[in-house]
Chain A
Amino acid sequence: DADVTQTPRNRITKTGKRIMLECSQTKGHDRMYWYRQDPGLGLQLIYYSFDVKDINKGEISDGYSVSRQAQAKFSLSLESAIPNQTALYFCATSDSGGQHEQFFGPGTRLTVL
């Protein structure tokens, strides 16, 4: 089984709808991250959480919110989806040690019509 899972893997929705993307991990890591990637570009950090009670904004948090329900679960919500939020979304985890290694999920491809 995959260490970092994301659901759904693909989603098509309409402008104005509320969408939740979910991420679960079995690696026992404290830290979790949400990124978005637009075609041909690098990843942009949306939010990150260093533990259950710690949530931090990344580069592009506007229009997004997150919830860290447990150490293993980190959800990303789009309160009112808009077309320019169409992108590939990745969840990642890392431990709190010195190695800056993140483990990424398979991604969720979101299309907002």
Chain B
Amino acid sequence: LAKTTQPISMDSYEGQEVNITCSHNNIATNDYITWYQQFPSQGPRFIIQGYKTKVTNEVASLFIPADRKSSTLSLPRVSLSDTAVYYCLVGASLGDMRFGAGTRLTVKP
């Protein structure tokens, strides 16, 4: 199973772009990279998934370099409601993926 490393916490201000990086040095060829968001006392919510290069949806962008040993979740113009824990998961199927401790993002006014 691929091990992931993320910063424990990050602070930002409303309107800023936030980039959260995840390291996954032992990622396997068939592994995808998936990010989830979790608010207190709620189940995680899927944000974005990618395999290589760049993926963008209405919520975020995911940047994956050619070696795929890391990935960066980019949240444009964050608001207070983006305060949450963000998890990076790596695996070929959901049975292989593991939620680490995640990154606690705090957005300040």
Interface residues, chain A, with chain B CB atoms under 8 Å away: 31, 33, 35, 41-45, 48, 50, 56, 58-59, 88, 90, 92, 94, 99-107, 109
Contact = CB atoms under 8 A, between A and B. Distances in A.
B94 A48 contact: yes
A100 B93 contact: yes
B29 interface: no
Contacts of A101: 34, 46, 49
A59 B98 CA distance: 9
A42 B102 contact: yes
A48 B93 CA distance: 12
Chain B interface mostly helix, strand, loop or mixed?
loop
Interface of B: 32, 34, 36, 41-46, 49, 87, 89, 91, 93-95, 97-102
A106 B34 CA distance: 21
Contacts of A31: 94
Nearest to A48: B95
Given A41-B101, A88-B41, A100-B34, A50 B95 contact: yes
A90 B100 CA distance: 16
15 contacts: A42-B99, A42-B102, A44-B99, A45-B99, A90-B44, A94-B94, A100-B32, A100-B46, A100-B93, A102-B44, A103-B46, A104-B42, A104-B44, A106-B43, A107-B42
B87 A56 contact: no
A27 to B, nearest CB: 13
Nearest to B51: A98
- Residue from A31, A35, A43, A103 having most chain B Cβ neighbours under 10 A: A43
